[in-house]
Chains A and B, each alone.
Chain A
């Protein structure tokens, strides 16, 4: 079959948090951009607010990606235009300053709070980031707030990328009101307006390199036909699990020995409480409230909630007791516990598919034990009639073993980490592959360390920074073009030669 051949200034692989932002900024800066997205473009009219269907349609592998290790951890990933921003809770944290300091100190990255601020501000404006109001947060957040206030623990309402949210309660299952400003309805339309070509169902098989320069990519369309994109710059944003797989099958990024290593997952779990009052957890923003009293110990509580089917799946009891408690679903409250992990996993590649190996270390196990005990304390302070910790019957938090934990890793990071030193990282401080000109990584895999907070804003800010590097705009203190103003037809910024 004769391949279709396209040419571009930049080929972006993936249309999630990193790829969509990069594509829009570059296209608006005057570059010819082709975006190759493996998944489909989802029509919000097809969203049903029913978790089983939406898991099957919006999540990679139906949300059933799981690690091998002790304990096995589910790793939910989005699929299609918008990537994981389509199915996340919309929580927006900037990279904590101490993390940026660490990146500068340990990984030699030229980043700090001051230089990154402009990128964060730009992304936050594009995504309409604002703090959730107590009214919109709903009763589930009110329970957590009551507990935190009674205990004197630090807490607050989360900032989210939402506009016109009415609290549908199904952020993770496709926002039916298009209130959540995921990249599929923000940056991708901007990229299109600025002339970018967005192709869905495009499975990139290889990044082609000649000598030490990239030439383009080889992909397969949904109908099986081959596609070649000739491009002097290729930015890979296929996500923390799949970017290393693409690099590995292209024979790239392996020199440092770090490709696929250093995987942080930000593992999480959640507890339920039966309250006297009506909560109706799915009415309101599911993730709207946080308790950061123990953030310096790597422990963070964030809201989590969902419809009855979602709650029934994760309620940690069984049999008749499960049915009895579910009959009181309107009185159930839930709160999540996230641990900023020091454990590190790695990816193996089996027939070009990534296999995730991750074992929770003792430090993180201790954090979960402490966090679960604190979670119980918080719910009791809020007046819970019963607390349901995600542990087997009779196991107290302090006695929990790894295999007792039911964990989900929402925020995989670090598998193609940035480090200025070629022997220590896969990409350099500008996110370019060490030793190969023109190949960049613009997703969570380049993030050098765990953040302790939700990472979408960090990934987007780093992608914005990369875009301005490629466009040749001075990173620090330079005025940036307005987010919504396509540059085509206006000033054309010459791409920097990679």
Chain B
């Protein structure tokens, strides 16, 4: 299961089908054009796609953000200093 699927599944049950439809549309050029006619839906769909796209570790690293390094540093600090 991808992070976005996990996120949608964690959401309120009544929102899930709508979010999956938005996501499917936002990932396709024709769907995207359709969504652009409804700004709030476009915003929600595009926001989800952007969240997933820039969560990709390679893409994020290229922009200067390395989540794995942040986590590794955190673990090391907690271990070394006896933090909870």
Contact = CB atoms under 8 A, between A and B. Distances in A.
Q: Do A and B bind each other?
A: yes
Interface of A: 44-45, 47-53, 55-57, 59, 61-62, 64-66, 164, 166, 168-170, 175-179, 185, 189, 280, 282, 307-315, 318, 322, 326-327, 329-330, 392, 403, 406
A49 B70 contact: yes
Interface string B12-28: 10010000000000000
A326 B60 CA distance: 10
Nearest to A278: B64
Given A51-B55, A53-B6, A309-B54, 19 more contacts: A47-B71, A49-B67, A52-B4, A52-B52, A62-B7, A65-B12, A169-B70, A178-B84, A307-B54, A307-B60, A309-B52, A311-B54, A312-B54, A313-B48, A318-B36, A318-B43, A318-B46, A326-B50, A326-B63
A57 B7 CA distance: 8
Contacts of A47: 71, 74
A52 B60 contact: no
Nearest to A175: B74
Contacts of B36: 318
Nearest to A404: B39
Contacts of B30: none
Given A56-B6, A62-B11, A330-B63, A312 B74 contact: no
26 contacts: A44-B78, A49-B71, A49-B74, A50-B67, A52-B51, A56-B10, A61-B10, A62-B10, A64-B11, A65-B12, A166-B77, A168-B74, A170-B70, A176-B73, A177-B77, A179-B83, A280-B64, A307-B67, A309-B53, A310-B51, A313-B50, A322-B50, A330-B63, A330-B64, A392-B39, A403-B40
Interface of B: 3-4, 6-12, 15, 36, 39-40, 42-43, 46-48, 50-55, 59-60, 63-65, 67-68, 70-71, 73-75, 77-78, 81, 83-84
Contacts of A282: 65
